[in-house]
Amino acid sequence: MNAGTHNTDLLTRSACSVWHPCTQMKQHESLPLVPIARARGTWLYDFDGRRYLDAISSWWVNLFGHANPRINAALVAQLAELEHVMLAGFTHEPVVQLSERLAGLTGNTLGHCFYGSDGASATEIALKMSYHYWRNSGRSEKTGFISLTNSYHGETLGALSVTDVALFKDVYAPLLRQCAQVPSPDFRLAENGESPRAYAERCAQALERYLESHHAQTAALIVEPLVQGATGMAMYDAEYLRRARALCERFEVHLIADEIMIGFGRSGTFFAHQQADIVPDFLCLSKGITGGYLPLSVVMTTDKVYAAFYDDSVTRGFLHSHSYTGNALACRAALATLDIFRDDDVINVNRTKAAHISRVAAPLARHARVRNFRNTGMIWAFDVDTDDAEFARNFHAAALERELLLRPIGNTVYFMPPYVINDREIDMLVTRTLEILDVLFK
């Protein structure tokens, strides 16, 4: 079969046998799937030799490029030793090392790691642990959860309950538990003339009012620190996190930091909450944790939470489990990812690279259609002024024609490239994005 035939054949079969995520499958009648044969660095290749710059890190997971030689080598070595063993009653070197190194990265404030396989499971684990902590502490009336408006914490039923995206949530409303939403500190929602910080403070006051009347029934507040990703890269001032931390302390409510997207350097610091100089009670990590190789998530927590479960009674323990908890290959990929952070001084190198990308991308901010051009760490986003309900699809299709993988969220276009993106690729990304805007709005 020649390459072109293989492309077409794979598309037809995939649209039939594979039910793709986050997709109305019928739309693939007009917008074909993109078949990928292999990938290297920042590039994805199909069977015809067409290529796409992975400017969104394959849904925000890839940090150091595809087929990264160091992660590949670590996985090959691990395969020769141990691919997997159950983690109940058993343990292994990669999971212990990973837990110790992650704890070290929190200054050993979050010294206990509980593993899952994906982000939504991490959210579930944090919610259950928080509730169970209060129950074990004689406070079983604390069953409520608070999240921010426009938050995203995953799509299993528990995670969806604290997610605030109508499109994903409304259909399933009868299945979900009621959770409270307090105003998002997204700076775009500030009043005219109000600074992002002043707006963050105003939102913290709204949280305070909520907690004043509901703290006795509330177990936890869950937030995406600094950037609300899935609802359009909403960015906010770190002051909100400082205030939220203090309020949670005062009202005896847990703070869950969902850093599933923003952790592992995406915010510019290793963890985003570090920019507010706070420690959450629970830290959820996934996505970049394995460098984009294998599914793995973890919830990290404090000695205090851990101690509340440590008991002679079985039911006071956290009996939650997933079959692949602490998978050895995934942990090894995560360790190789952490090695790259350390050996290549990635956080500092990214600071220089981010400043360069912001300079190169500056013309986008001046485009007539562009609003709210914004940046946090290794994320850039802007909103496009258009009434076109099909904007995201049209932009995505136009990007594919120009060798770019970009997938706007509503009217928001964002770049979230692998950290290994080079200068030539950055130029290409910006130039072609400008070209797409000009073509769509000529």
Ligand X SMILES: *Cc1c(COP(=O)(O)O)cnc(C)c1O
Q: How many CB atoms lie within 10 A of CB 178?
A: 8
Residues 371-400 interacting with ligand X (rule: CB under 6 A)? none
Interface with ligand X (CB under 6 A), residue from 229, 268, 291, 417: 229
CB of 120 to ligand X, least distance (A): 3
Interface with ligand X (CB under 6 A), residue from 55, 71, 230, 329: 230
CB of 260 to ligand X, least distance (A): 4
Tell me the three-class secondary structure of 400-413, residue by residue.
Answer: HHCCEECCCECCEE
Provide the mask over 334-353, with x wherever binding to ligand X is found by CB under 6 A and - wherever it is not: --------------------
What is the distance between the alpha carbons of residues 221 and 239, in angstroms, rounded to a whole number? 16
Is 237 a binding residue for ligand X by CB under 6 A? The answer is: no
Is 224 a binding residue for ligand X by CB under 6 A? The answer is: yes
The one segment of 94-102, 213-221, 223-231, 412-420 that binds ligand X by CB under 6 A:
223-231
CB of 167 to ligand X, least distance (A): 15
Interface with ligand X (CB under 6 A), residue from 261, 299, 334, 379: 261
Residue nearest to ligand X (CB): 119
Strand partners, 356: none
CB of 435 to ligand X, least distance (A): 29
Closer by beta carbon to ligand X, 150 or else 372: 150
What is the distance between the alpha carbons of residues 221 and 185, in angstroms, rounded to a whole number? 14
CB of 261 to ligand X, least distance (A): 3
The one segment of 114-122, 166-174, 240-248, 401-409 that binds ligand X by CB under 6 A:
114-122
Interface with ligand X (CB under 6 A), residue from 119, 158, 263, 288: 119
Closer by beta carbon to ligand X, 153 or else 254: 153
Closer by beta carbon to ligand X, 18 or else 96: 18
Residues in contact with ligand X, counted by CB under 6 A, come to a total of 14
The one segment of 11-19, 125-133, 194-202, 224-232 that binds ligand X by CB under 6 A:
224-232
The one segment of 35-43, 119-127, 174-182, 320-328 that binds ligand X by CB under 6 A:
119-127
Q: Does residue 231 contact residue 149 with C-beta atoms inside 8 Å? A: no
The one segment of 37-45, 113-121, 273-281, 391-399 that binds ligand X by CB under 6 A:
113-121
Which CA distances in Å does 315 have to 142, 254, 264, 318, 422? 18, 21, 34, 7, 52
Closer by beta carbon to ligand X, 152 or else 240: 152
Residues 276-295 interacting with ligand X (rule: CB under 6 A)? 286
Provide the mask over 136-155, with x wherever binding to ligand X is found by CB under 6 A and - wherever it is not: ----------------xxx-
Please give the single-letter amino acid code of residue 236.
Answer: Y
Interface with ligand X (CB under 6 A), residue from 74, 110, 120, 219: 120
The site for ligand X (CB under 6 A) is made up of 118-120, 123, 152-154, 224, 229-230, 258, 260-261, 286
